[in-house]
Every structure is written in structure tokens, then in C-alpha cells.
Structure 1
Amino acid sequence: AKRNGTKQYFYVSDKPKTGMTKHPGSGKYVGRYTIPGSKSGVTSTVNITCTTARSNAKKNGDKWHLYDFATYCAIIWLYLIEFADWNCQITIGAGVTKSEYSGPVRNGMTDTMIYHTGNSTAGSIECAVQYRWVENLLGNVSQWVDGFNADGTTAYYCTDPSKYADDTTTGYTKIGTLPASGWIKDLTVTDNGLLIPKTIGGSETTYIPDFVWSSYGWSVLCVGGHWGGGSYAGLLYFNASNASSRSGSDISARLLCEA
């Protein structure tokens, strides 16, 4: 990354290049579906805390954990490079977000799609979506994201899965300060390509048309938006207002495996 005044430039290569480094979210396999087991045809497990989801993920083996903050950021970069448009609910699809349901739909509604990105209405009032074969990164259920903690609006990240834990700064690095809740206008972006909302003042059609929630105590992160989220949902929907003890019918989890 290079900076020039208030502008920051990132360069991307499809092969190793001198002076360039891999994004910290590289080298990971992301579950196509949300839990349980990343299986088609089942409904996502909800009413599960981030702590319980983390513990369950680790039972699969040493390389397994939850969808994490670094990988979340890497996927956002891939999407932006491909579409050059912040409004993924237009470029990919709205997702299952408009409250026609009172809970999540089953996994696998994009299975009939022949292309890796876009939306499908198969068996659904709304459109389940997928990005590069990963289903419902936005909409249907929000997903817990590991490796991120906020103490009020002060945000911290970790890229070492062995140190992922709630309500702590041990093993974590400060990334910046979250704004009050609102429509995202600008981002804090680190030189290694991690990002969080920085300011609000946008809308559902301007700047970064997704919503950030922040709180006043310790909180963990969920992303993507859910079945009742409407236009608040999106790849950059950033909910850092949930206590680690929270569970709900709108939040699930996604498995991740280190390569």
C-alpha cells in the first residue's frame, strides 16, 4: 500500500512480486454455507453465541475456526477489485433481507446456479445470493466474525487463531475507533489491507451504502445483515454492538479452514 495525502493506494498481483506481501486473510478456505457443518439443505444454526460457535468450530481440528476478521477484509477487497462498486446489493443481489420470512431460509438455494456470483430465486420469495461460490455472505443470517473485539468504540484485531477470544486486548492490536451507529461514509484502512468503518453520514445509496452499529461496552462482531435487515445489509454491514453473551435468531456462523 502507498499513501499520498489523504489517498491510499493498493496494488494487486496475480503472482508473487517483489515488494508485495500476501493479505493476512489469504490462504484460507471459507465454508460455502453457514453452520451446521456447511451443508446444503439444512437451516442455519442460530441462537448461538460467538463463544460457543468458536468452541464448536475447533472440534473439527487444529486448522479449523470461525470466519475471521482478516478473511472478511480479504473478501471485501476481492469484491471491490472485481466490481468497483460499493453497493453489492445491486451488483450481486439484495439477499434474503426483506422480511418476507420470520427466520433464515435453508442453505443451498444457490446450488442450481451455473455461475459463481449472483442471485437465485430458486424456492425462495427473495433472492439468495452467492459470491464466488460462497452463499449468503450478505443476508439470510449475519455471521459471527472472530479475531475482532471492541471496547466501546475502540476496535482491536488479531490474526492468530490461537489467541481468538472475547472481551480482551491480549494478543490483539488496536486498529482504530468506530463511529456512532449510522450509514458508513469512510473507512479506516491499514497498510496490510484490514478495514473498519471510520465515519458515518452516508445513506443506503451513497458512499458505502451499508450500516455500522457500535456500542459502549465490550462487544464482538457480526457481519452481512440478516433476513430482516433490508437495505442495512451488505458485505460491509458491520455490527459491533453485540455483547459476547448474545445469541439470536438473526445470527449464525461460518466455518473456516487454514490451507
Structure 2
Amino acid sequence: MNYGKRSEFRTAAANRGTGWRQQDFDLISAVQLLYLIEYGSWYSQSEIGAGLTDWSSSTWLTWNNYNPIERTGLSNGTATWSVSNGSGNKGSYVSYRWIENPWGHIWKFVDGINIEEHVPYVCNDDTYFADDTLTNYTSLGVTLSSSEGYQKTLAQTARGFLPTSVGGSSSTYITDYYWPNAGWRVLWLGGRTKDDGCAGAFCVLMGSTASALNQYVGGRSSF
């Protein structure tokens, strides 16, 4: 499977067997919280490393038309749970708690969350994961920013880290970028090879539909 829609990566993860599913909103929120407890900083690219984030658009286009640059597994065998290798070169990666490239290289789908008109709805039961629906999903009771930019403030909710305003920078406030759009949207996490300082542990894109196909977005299985 070279690339696909969120629903197709959802199926691929479930096909691994009982207990497997695509990474979901509550899981990535727990990882983000763990990172904050350990580092005490929103600035993940500074604390751990930039990862594969600083290629120019033209370089990546010429290299392979925005397709993935590396297979996963570059950090296999790494004894340190938090590591950055390289800075922008082919072979660069970042790893946190042995999760390879939580930001950078390609975007990763996040399941268990649907956004309708900037309002997030979440679900933690993978048997109900579905796109463009509120059925079996719970509203977080907040409205997210409708403007694009570096995140400044977050929703006052105990469940996750989602932006309600922009106006920061790559080194202030939340330090990561946010791309929204109206209508039904899915969540992409982390940023990609050409997103530079926009990328990071809290970088999110909520500008894509569930039916969109892009070679620079992938899925991550979890158990």
C-alpha cells in the first residue's frame, strides 16, 4: 500500500489482527502529554530535533514528486528513547519514545476524530471509527480557530491539545503550525519534509477531506 485515504489505513491497521488499530486522537494526546511532562516545552524540534523537515518544495518535487523519502525503521536498534539523527539530509529522522518521526517526513492520519465546521468530535472505540459522521462520537464542546497560523492558545479541554487561536511563531507559544478549513475534515499530524519550523509534536492540519488522496500522508498502526 503506497498511499491511501484514512479509511484505507484504518482497514490496513485492523487487518494486522485483534487489538490493532490506526493511531487515534486519545493515543496521540497521551503521547503529547507525556512529552510535555518530560520536556516542559512545546518546542519539540528544539528539545529533540528537527527531523526530516527542511527540504525545499522544489528539491522534494525533483527527488521523487513528494513521495516518501525513506522507509520506516531507521531508528530500529536505537537504545536511546529520544534521538535526532541528521538535519535535513536523506536518512534524517527523529524518534521519541521509540516512535519514529512523530513529526516530519510525511503527515500521519489521526483516527477517532472528525471535525465539522471547526468543531471536533472524538471517539475511542475503534469499532465505531468512521469518517464524516457524528454517530458514536462525542463533541469536545469547543470551536477551533478558523484561521491558519502558528498556534497561540489551546482549547480548554481535558482531552487533547487543539488550537483556538493563532498568532505565535516557530519559537513562541505552541511553536507549531495549524491549517484549518470549513466543512467535514480529518486530522493530519506532525508536518512533512518541506514544512520546516511549522512541523512538530503539536502541528496539525484539519484542511483535508476524508476522501482526499495524497502521497505525502500515511497511517500509523498502534496496539
TM-score by length of 2: 0.89
Aligned to 1:161: 126
Instruction: Establish whether residue 136 from structure 1 lines up as the match of residue 113 from structure 2.
Output: no
1:24-64 Cα offsets, whole Å, 9 max, x none, are: xxxxxxxxxxxxxxxxxxxxx55310011111211122311
1:94 equivalent to 2:18? Answer no
Alignment of 1:228 onto 2:184: no
Q: Which residue of 2 aligns with 1:63?
A: 19
Q: 1:195 aligns to what SS in structure 2?
A: coil
Matched, 1:182 2:133: no
Q: Structure 1 CA distance, aligned partners of 2:167 and 2:78?
A: 37
Verify the 8 A CA contact 1:187 1:199 in the aligned structure 2. yes
Aligned length: 212
Confirm or deny: 8 A CA contact 1:110 1:122 kept in the other structure.
no
- Answering whether residue 221 of structure 2 is matched by residue 255 of structure 1, we say yes
Question: Does the 8 Å contact 2:51/2:86 carry over to 1?
Answer: no
Q: Which of the two has greater helix per residue?
A: 2
CA distance in structure 2 between the aligned counterparts of 1:123 and 1:170, rounded to whole angstroms: 42
8 Å contact from structure 2 (residues 74, 91) kept in 1? no
Partner of 1:80: 36
Q: Is the 8 A contact 1:113 1:120 kept in 2?
A: no
Q: 2-side partners of 1:170 and 1:130: how far apart?
A: 35
Report deviation, 1:126.
6.2
Asked if 2 retains the 8 angstrom alpha-carbon contact of 1:97 and 1:229, the reply is yes
Q: Quick one: which amino acid aligns to residue 171 of structure 1?
A: N
3-state SS of 2:194 partner: coil
CA-atom RMSD, angstroms? 1.9
SS, match of residue 236 in structure 1: coil
Give the stretch that moved more between structures: 200-209 or 116-125.
116-125
Deviation at 1:130, TM superposition (A): 0.1
1:241 aligns with 2:207: yes
- The alignment status of 1:205 with 2:161, answered yes or no, reads no
Percent identity over the alignment? 33
- Mind listing any 5+ residue stretches in structure 2 that lack a counterpart? none
Q: What is the correspondence of 1:26-37 to structure 2 with a 5 Å cutoff?
A: none
Query: Aligned to 1:150, which of 100, 106, 115?
Result: 115
Q: Distance in 2 between matches of 1:58 and 1:86?
A: 32
Partners of 2:28 and 2:203 lie apart in 1 by 11
| Distance verdict in 2 for CA 1:229–1:95, change over 3 Å | same
Taking the aligned partners of 1:113 and 1:162, their CA distance within structure 2 comes to: 34
In the alignment, residue 200 of structure 1 is paired with which amino acid?
V
Larger Rg: 1
Give the AA of the match of 2:82. Answer: T
Amino acid at match of 1:91: E
SS at match of 1:177: coil
TM-score for the superposition, normalised by structure 1: 0.77
Using the alignment, how far apart are the partners of 2:30 and 2:73 within structure 1?
Answer: 24
Q: How much does 1:190 deviate? A: 2.1
